[in-house]
Chain A
Amino acid sequence: MTDRISISVTVNGATHTADVEPRLLLADFIRENLDLTGTHVGCEHGICGACTILMNGDSVRSCLTLAVQADGAEIETVENLGDAENLGPLQQAFREHHALQCGFCTPGMLMTATDMLRKYPLETDEDIRDGLSGNICRCTGYQHIVDAVRAARDERDAK
């Protein structure tokens, strides 16, 4: 067996240290070691985007990242946006606009949208669609997701 490597990762504000196999995927570390099962694995090859998290403020595929690469990093997952009894504004917008059906792609969509909303003006629907185009949703046809992100943008810009 390969030697384990010690890592220290801050996830949603809490710092975790662990000895992990070098091959352990960050997605599996988050889901299995930390029990944060909100981050979903949809394809394990970086296409679907369900596993998207924020690492040091950038959206990242946690299925294409090794846990050891996250050593010293600040990670945000969907659990950081708000809980079921106290949804955050983007989650709220998704609910109001029916931007989710089965919910499996949703955590990745939310994290990608969070990144987009923090960094970009998102002036047009085309900008929003471009930004979301790395995340696959099979249920909604995207229209309601675009509506939700547009509403969250308006709320952001009103502040």
Chain B
Amino acid sequence: MNPPDDIDLTRPQFVGTKVARREDPRLLSGAGNYVADIKRHGMVHMAFRRSDHAHAAIRGIDAEKALALPGVMAVYTGEDIAAMANPYRATSRMKNYQATFIPPLAVGKVRYVGEAVVAIVAESRYVAEDALALVEIDYEPLAVLVDPEESLKPDALKLHDDLDSNILAEREFARGEVDEAFENAAATAGGKFHFTRTTPVTIEARAAVAEYDKGARSLTLHCTTQIPGIVRDKLSEIFDLPGPRIRVLAPDVGGGFGGKTSLYSEEIVACAVSRALGKPVKWVSDRMEDLMTTGHAFDEVVYADIAVAEDGAILGLKADVIGDVGAYSIYPWTATIEPVQVVSFMPGPYRIENYAARVRSVATNKTLTGAYRGVGRPISVFVMDRLLDMAARRIDMDPAEIRRRNLVNDDEFPYKAASGLVWDKSAFQACLREAADGIGYDDLRREQEAARAEGRWVGIGVASYAELTGVGSRIAVAPGMPINTGTETCNVAIDSTGAVTASFGLASQGQGMETTLAQVVAQELGVKVEDVDVILGDTSAVSHGTGTYASRGAVFGGGAGTLAAKAVREKIVRVAGHLLEAAEEDIETGDGNVWVKGTDRTMTVRDLARALYSDMGRVPKDMRDEIDNLEATKVYDPFFGTTTAATHMCLVEIDPETYKVEIGKYIVVEDCGRVINPMIADGQAHGGVAQGIGVALMEEVIHDDSGQVLTASLVDYVVPSAVEVPSMDVVHVEAELPGTVGGFRGLGEGGTIGAPACIANAISDALSPLGIEIMEIPATPERIFRLVESARDA
């Protein structure tokens, strides 16, 4: 063996390099293991009869014909499941919050179209679906609430009899003297903004396979979840089973984007039915079910105004947010998660001393809203950055310039934003500067002038934002929730064969965490990346974990992985000191080897493990007693979390005949701290922006006045394809690293946070000769056509 003598060569820096993903070979060859791929001996199939009413009393259910169909094994109603599963709701300590019970199958009433009413179990999915049509449900239609501004009125029909009103949460924020700020303003701007309802559309729809073992009295649930730990903990309460006898696994999961961060009725019903029948039960959602039942996103009306001084300085900001949260308060996040974030993040990365805001989460007869990529912040940024552009126009200032004047400067960190959030140092100004340089902002303005002279609708969009990522225990992801989103656990273990395993409470839905977390652990431990196996998405791996959401994977996984690997490395060094007869400070590790610096005395980590575990007598009893094993479990709490910031810029042109928006150029410049794998970081930005483009231009869940979903197929709910998403530039600014362990910031959501505002600003800029401001998105060709027509009429 060649003794390593060059530390730079033998301790390669894996973090920051383009390591090819270890997930890829299986996913590229059809050898992945998604929930829908699972087959078990004796497995039965489940399908749901869903409500076709938005609001109705259930007078009776007749399932006799369904039960008589050959191949049908059982039919369950809401009452049946209620007898098998304890009731649950999303509680919160937040003031002025009302939780709703969420029946796994409707009991007594249905409250949205798509709500599950009856579950049918059969020998095949085909037969189960045949039987659905044979169930007769007698409904008594009730008045339907589809408009949250009607639903919040004191005399409105109540959706839940046990609550005081349909306002599930209400909160106010205030700092400074807002009214005075508006009185002293050189200009004000504002109005009613509408950010419509969207839905995540993971290409893999939700699915579950529940297996109850009557002999072992244990439950195994494979499901498409981002939060296996949260699901496990709640199932333990719902079924009165101790945690260790419930194992929740998220195997290969086909995208999440927040849509898979909630506990879903179908998962509970699958477990209950498997327990009752003693058979594995499989349910796979079809696309129509997915579009109607997976937690919807956004859906807010925001009345907001900004006041600015002559030099562009923001003097004050006011916002009143009404969030349409659908029929129930989603578990675990509650009806607060989306609307409250809108007001928490509205002041954004800007210096704003005077702020007043109110938010109300209002129940309606629609699908529940939950977490979706960005959560609240796409709206915050849409409103805030639209307001900035509107104000800039009033005082005849360039959009990039008004941002430069208001973005928090490098010497002002940590900065306490008007809503109380604290920004740690992040490259706010540098992102703006580099985006302008990267896209050639000044040249584009000149080109725009020339295009305008030809009568073309060409616009440039700018949006800057800041988000909190890797949020630790200081702030709950949703206010007052009884779950701990502020820590994650990692166990690093080297076993008696010398193999390294890093286990996490996180779960992956395509982010490549098997690769990135292996990079982090390998670097810290001093082994090869390919020698670290990474376990994710399995509640039996660590004693507590919640999962992957809120741009936390890199910060929490990277942090906990670093701490656990460091602790194991210390044990390696102790044992090596004895075996290689050297002082511990002279021991180095790298590339799977352990050696005494500057000598040829070396051994492999594998041999060291064998010496400790298997070769009796090579390590003295005293040392073995002290070290126990080459294993460590560490919990990481980033406490405040850290700020991720970015500026997006784009160039659009609107076709004067079709009113279609063409995105010509797009740049993202973000500060996401130390980048673990640049290829993967770029991919996150690309995908996030693509979803933001969908939100800005195409995607909208539409309900009619009776609460029917008019967008229950991918024909009607349109997401971007390869021809609607432009090629984009992504630049990572690694400015001063944050104080998180490893220096990582989160980066999963940013693209979707910045893009809607950036594109809406570009469209408004293109149409500014007509005095048009985009106040509602998606800016579909139809909406733009109407705006142009009414502007021309006026």
Tell me the A residues contacting B by CB distance below 8 Å.
1, 21, 23-24, 31, 35-45, 47-48, 50, 77-79, 81-85, 87, 91, 94-96, 98, 100-107, 110, 125, 128-130, 132-146
Q: What's the least CB distance linking B54 to chain A, in Å? A: 23
By the criterion CB–CB under 8 Å, are B725 and A143 in contact? yes
Contacts of A98 in B (CB 8 A): 21, 679-680, 682-683
By the criterion CB–CB under 8 Å, are A84 and B29 in contact? yes
Q: What's the least CB distance linking B457 to chain A, in Å? A: 22
By the criterion CB–CB under 8 Å, are A43 and B28 in contact? no
Contacts of B39 in A (CB 8 A): 35
The answer to the question of B126 belonging to the interface, with a C-beta cut-off of 8 Å to chain A, is yes
Q: Chain B: interface secondary structure? A: loop
| Given known A-B contacts A103-B23, A143-B727, A39 and B204 have beta carbons under 8 A apart | no
Residue of B30, B34, B39, B713 with most partner-chain A CB within 10 A: B30
Contacts of B255 in A (CB 8 A): 101-102, 104, 138-139
Contacts of A79 in B (CB 8 A): 29-30
Q: What's the least CB distance linking B117 to chain A, in Å? A: 21
The answer to the question of B254 belonging to the interface, with a C-beta cut-off of 8 Å to chain A, is yes
The answer to the question of B296 belonging to the interface, with a C-beta cut-off of 8 Å to chain A, is no
Bound complex: CA A83 to CA B27 (Å): 10
Bound complex: CA A41 to CA B284 (Å): 10
By the criterion CB–CB under 8 Å, are B725 and A103 in contact? no
The answer to the question of B210 belonging to the interface, with a C-beta cut-off of 8 Å to chain A, is no
By the criterion CB–CB under 8 Å, are B28 and A50 in contact? no
The answer to the question of B203 belonging to the interface, with a C-beta cut-off of 8 Å to chain A, is yes
Contacts of A47 in B (CB 8 A): 713-715
Could you tell me which residues of chain B, from 20 to 41, have a CB within 8 Å of some CB in chain A?
20-21, 23-32, 34, 36-37, 39
**In the complex, residue of chain A having the shortest beta-carbon distance to the beta carbon of B677:** A98
Could you tell me which residues of chain B, from 267 to 323, have a CB within 8 Å of some CB in chain A?
286-287
Segment at the A interface, from B190-198, B506-514, B560-568: B506-514
| Given known A-B contacts A125-B727, A143-B728, A144-B686, A78 and B29 have beta carbons under 8 A apart | yes
Q: Chain A: interface secondary structure? A: loop
Contacts of B34 in A (CB 8 A): 37, 40, 104
By the criterion CB–CB under 8 Å, are B687 and A84 in contact? no
By the criterion CB–CB under 8 Å, are B28 and A103 in contact? yes
Residue of B27, B29, B714 with most partner-chain A CB within 10 A: B29
| Given known A-B contacts A50-B203, A84-B26, A132-B722, A38 and B714 have beta carbons under 8 A apart | no
Nearest 6 A/B pairs, CB to CB: A38-B30, A102-B510, A104-B254, A103-B27, A141-B686, A141-B690
**17 extra A-B contacts, CB within 8 A, seeds A140-B686, A143-B686:** A37-B30, A37-B34, A38-B31, A78-B29, A82-B28, A84-B29, A91-B29, A95-B28, A102-B27, A103-B27, A104-B254, A106-B28, A130-B722, A138-B202, A141-B725, A141-B751, A142-B686
Contacts of B688 in A (CB 8 A): 141
By the criterion CB–CB under 8 Å, are A84 and B719 in contact? no
The answer to the question of B691 belonging to the interface, with a C-beta cut-off of 8 Å to chain A, is yes
By the criterion CB–CB under 8 Å, are B204 and A104 in contact? yes
The answer to the question of B612 belonging to the interface, with a C-beta cut-off of 8 Å to chain A, is no
Which listed residue (A37, A40, A128, A143) contacts B204, Cβ 8 A?
A40
Which listed residue (B24, B30, B252, B510) contacts A139, Cβ 8 A?
B510
The answer to the question of B402 belonging to the interface, with a C-beta cut-off of 8 Å to chain A, is no
Bound complex: CA A140 to CA B286 (Å): 23
Residue of A1, A42, A78 with most partner-chain B CB within 10 A: A42
Some 7 contacts from A to B, beta carbons below 8 A apart, are: A42-B203, A45-B714, A95-B20, A104-B510, A138-B202, A141-B725, A142-B686
Contacts of A43 in B (CB 8 A): 287, 713-714
Bound complex: CA A40 to CA B37 (Å): 9
By the criterion CB–CB under 8 Å, are A48 and B512 in contact? no
Bound complex: CA A113 to CA B4 (Å): 45
Contacts of A31 in B (CB 8 A): 37
Q: What's the least CB distance linking B438 to chain A, in Å? A: 16
| Given known A-B contacts A44-B286, A84-B25, A138-B687, A145 and B31 have beta carbons under 8 A apart | no
By the criterion CB–CB under 8 Å, are A138 and B31 in contact? no
The answer to the question of B721 belonging to the interface, with a C-beta cut-off of 8 Å to chain A, is yes
**In the complex, residue of chain B having the shortest beta-carbon distance to the beta carbon of A37:** B37
The answer to the question of B723 belonging to the interface, with a C-beta cut-off of 8 Å to chain A, is yes
By the criterion CB–CB under 8 Å, are B254 and A103 in contact? yes
By the criterion CB–CB under 8 Å, are B126 and A41 in contact? no
**In the complex, residue of chain A having the shortest beta-carbon distance to the beta carbon of B253:** A102
Which listed residue (A84, A129, A145) contacts B723, Cβ 8 A?
A129
By the criterion CB–CB under 8 Å, are A82 and B683 in contact? no
Contact bitstring B744-775, A, C-beta under 8 A = 1, else 0: 00000001000000000000000000000000
Contacts of B714 in A (CB 8 A): 43, 45, 47-48, 136
Bound complex: CA A146 to CA B722 (Å): 8
The answer to the question of B128 belonging to the interface, with a C-beta cut-off of 8 Å to chain A, is no
Q: What's the least CB distance linking B515 to chain A, in Å? A: 10
By the criterion CB–CB under 8 Å, are B24 and A95 in contact? yes
Contacts of A130 in B (CB 8 A): 722-723
Contacts of A91 in B (CB 8 A): 28-29
**In the complex, residue of chain A having the shortest beta-carbon distance to the beta carbon of B686:** A141
Which listed residue (A35, A87, A125) contacts B29, Cβ 8 A?
A87
Q: What's the least CB distance linking A149 to chain B, in Å? A: 10
By the criterion CB–CB under 8 Å, are B253 and A38 in contact? no
The answer to the question of B325 belonging to the interface, with a C-beta cut-off of 8 Å to chain A, is no
Bound complex: CA A145 to CA B725 (Å): 12
Bound complex: CA A31 to CA B27 (Å): 16
Bound complex: CA A140 to CA B27 (Å): 15
Bound complex: CA A56 to CA B202 (Å): 30
Bound complex: CA A139 to CA B461 (Å): 24
Q: What's the least CB distance linking B539 to chain A, in Å? A: 21
The answer to the question of B350 belonging to the interface, with a C-beta cut-off of 8 Å to chain A, is no
Which listed residue (B287, B509, B510) contacts A45, Cβ 8 A?
B287
By the criterion CB–CB under 8 Å, are A133 and B721 in contact? yes
By the criterion CB–CB under 8 Å, are A101 and B512 in contact? yes
By the criterion CB–CB under 8 Å, are A141 and B31 in contact? no
**In the complex, residue of chain A having the shortest beta-carbon distance to the beta carbon of B71:** A1
Residue of B37, B203, B252, B512 with most partner-chain A CB within 10 A: B203
Which listed residue (B32, B679, B690) contacts A142, Cβ 8 A?
B690
The answer to the question of B257 belonging to the interface, with a C-beta cut-off of 8 Å to chain A, is yes
Contact bitstring B29-69, A, C-beta under 8 A = 1, else 0: 11110101101000000000000000000000000000000
Contacts of B432 in A (CB 8 A): none
Which listed residue (A94, A103, A146) contacts B510, Cβ 8 A?
A103
**In the complex, residue of chain A having the shortest beta-carbon distance to the beta carbon of B200:** A138
By the criterion CB–CB under 8 Å, are B257 and A138 in contact? yes
**In the complex, residue of chain A having the shortest beta-carbon distance to the beta carbon of B726:** A143
Bound complex: CA A83 to CA B679 (Å): 24
Q: What's the least CB distance linking A66 to chain B, in Å? A: 13
Contacts of B733 in A (CB 8 A): none
By the criterion CB–CB under 8 Å, are B24 and A94 in contact? yes
Contacts of B31 in A (CB 8 A): 38, 83-84
Q: What's the least CB distance linking A120 to chain B, in Å? A: 15
Contacts of A128 in B (CB 8 A): 722
Contacts of B682 in A (CB 8 A): 98, 144
Bound complex: CA A15 to CA B683 (Å): 40
Contacts of B287 in A (CB 8 A): 42-45, 48
Contacts of A106 in B (CB 8 A): 27-28
Residue of A85, A107, A140 with most partner-chain B CB within 10 A: A140
The answer to the question of B145 belonging to the interface, with a C-beta cut-off of 8 Å to chain A, is no
The answer to the question of B689 belonging to the interface, with a C-beta cut-off of 8 Å to chain A, is yes
By the criterion CB–CB under 8 Å, are A139 and B687 in contact? yes
Q: What's the least CB distance linking B784 to chain A, in Å? A: 22
**In the complex, residue of chain A having the shortest beta-carbon distance to the beta carbon of B688:** A141
By the criterion CB–CB under 8 Å, are A102 and B683 in contact? no
The answer to the question of B417 belonging to the interface, with a C-beta cut-off of 8 Å to chain A, is no
Bound complex: CA A11 to CA B287 (Å): 27
Bound complex: CA A154 to CA B511 (Å): 28
Bound complex: CA A81 to CA B238 (Å): 45
Q: What's the least CB distance linking A90 to chain B, in Å? A: 9
By the criterion CB–CB under 8 Å, are A45 and B30 in contact? no
Bound complex: CA A48 to CA B717 (Å): 12
